[in-house]
Every structure is written in C-alpha cells, then in structure tokens.
Amino acid sequence: MSKAIHYDLTTFEGTIQSLGKYLNLAEREISKYIVNNKDNYDRDEFIEKFQITDEQLLSSELIMSALHVTTNNDECSSIKKYGLVNLQQAILLDTPLNKYLQNLGVQIDLAKKQIVYKGKVYDLAKDYRGITERSSAEWVSFKLFEDYQINSFFSSENVLNYGGNVNENPEFLYNLAQLLNDGKIKYDWMNDSNKKCYIIKFETPLSSINNFYHRIYTENLEEIEIDLMNRKWIIEKSLSILNDGIFHGGYTIEIHCELKPSVSVPFRNIIKICTPSEYLKEYKINKE
C-alpha cells in the first residue's frame, strides 16, 4: 500500500476530509454529490460517478479513529501503562477492574473457566443459546470468551447515552452480579466517589477491526474481497454522516466499532482522553 490515510468518522468535518483524502476528491465535489442526492445517495453510484477503481480503494492503509467510553478510579494510569485492553486482559493485568474484583473476593480463572465467590464455584457454560434464553452463567461466559473485545464508536450522536451504561460501569459487572446474585458487584463500582468517566479517542488500522459484515456473507470470500467490502462500507457510512450533517441538523448515526478479540490499543495510539464535559463541548453536544 502506497500511503496511510487517517480516517475519522467521529465528526462531520473529519468525515468529509477523510473521504476526500482517501479517494483524492475535493470536498466541494463530495458536498455537491450529497446536495444533489438528498436522502437518496448511493455508494455504488458514487464510486462509479467518480470512477473509483477497486485498485484505488485497496491502495491505501486506512487508520481508523474511534471513541471508547470507560470508567476507572486511577485517573487512567493503567491505560497510560497498558493502553486499551480487552476484558480478559483487564481481568489478568494490574488494572482497576482486577483490583476491584480481588477486593470483592471474586476469583476468575479463565483457564479453568471457573469463578469462585464466597466459597462457591461457578462453572461457566461453553455453549450459548439464543439471547433471550441465556442463563446468567452463559452470559458471563459469552462476555469472557466470545464478546471480550474492545468496543467503541466510529460515530455517535452522544456516546454517553449508549444503552449499556458504559459511562457508569463496565457492562460485564452487570452480568457478573446476576450470576453471583449480588448487586453489590455492580453498584459498588457505580457508587465509588473516586471513579470517573473518560472518553478516549484512539486510532487503529482497519485490519485490526472485526469485519463489518456477518460471517455468513463472507465465509466463502478471499481476504482481499472482504477488505474491499469493508472499505465500501466505510464509504457508505461516510455518505450517510454527510447527508445527515447537511440535511438533518447534524444528527449523527450510531456506528459501532468492534476490534478483533486479540487486539489492544497501545497508549501511543491514543489521540486524546476527555472528561464527559470536555467531550460534550468539543463535539458540540447539548446534554439532555
């Protein structure tokens, strides 16, 4: 690949600048296309109109920006030491979550797939039924061994309003509290006066991010074909953000970013750490 493009979907300005640099288009050309196709933009038509070839789409390395919401009581010192880490690493390394669980007497053995709490051993399930049918043990097991990657947002109207309440406590603690039948596990973290919320803007290569399409759509495809699909997906989401910004009062759609399970984000790739008030001000969000 000939060049690296830092691609930022977190703002309207970042989106149009990134799309222009990626496709070597003037921002006015992109804006004109959106204006002429209000709410009726089409990714493939856009690509054809500007004669963008597959070779051009694949010629650059894309470095994607995203926003991650977290809470901790160490003023992000462990993040400065380890960077952003997945749930398994957060349990094993010297992090606020690790210390919190130890202080509560919760022992999680990832190798044995067991949790010990108040003298009782909880064996974690290996199979997961449908979402509405999962037991608390299945949910904890799913979080620890299937859904433990770093989650974030490419774009959001307000990341603090996400339904998982990640601005108050790690989602995992809700599932753990249900399994161990002890609400203290969740609420002690939420009520810790030393705990603060942070919004972390980071960047990571596109290759470190989970595919944007379900595996049933990609299982018979070559890696280069999947890469091309992902890049066209990014163009589609870019056009959506620009259309909403121009015609719908700046409303920003919520686009999730899910890193591959084994991926962490070193501190050098963290662009900025913001408090909620700093985030709301920078992104011009009116707090509801």
CB 232 within 8 A of CB 57: yes
pLDDT of residue 137: 86
Average pLDDT over residues 249-275: 93
Q: Is the pLDDT score of 1 beyond 60? A: no
Query: What's the mean pLDDT when you consider all of the chain?
Result: 93
Among 4-8, 30-34, 82-86, 219-223, the least confident range: 219-223
Beta bridge partners of 165: none
pTM above 0.85, yes or no: yes
Nearest to 238 by CA among 255, 221, 216, 214: 255
Residue 237 CB: number of other CB atoms within 10 A? 18
| Predicted pLDDT of residue 135 | 84
What is the structure's pLDDT at 156? 95
| One-letter identity of residue 215 | R
Residue 262: DSSP 8-state:
T
Give ∠ CA 254-208-81 in degrees, rounded to 5. Answer: 95
Using one digit for the tens of pLDDT, what is the confidence trace for 14-52?
A: 999 999 999 999 999 999 999 999 999 999 999 999 999
Q: Which residue pairs, CB below 8 angstroms and at least 24 apart, start in 92-96?
A: 96/72
115 vs 118: CA distance, rounded Å: 10
* Measured distance CA(119)–CA(129) in Å, rounded: 28
Residue 4 to residue 18: CA distance in whole angstroms: 11
Q: What is the pLDDT of residue 221?
A: 85
Q: How far apart are CA 66 and CA 155, in angstroms?
A: 7
pLDDT(257) > 60: yes
Cβ-based neighbours of 91, under 8 Å, separated by 6 or more: 97, 98, 101, 108, 110, 144
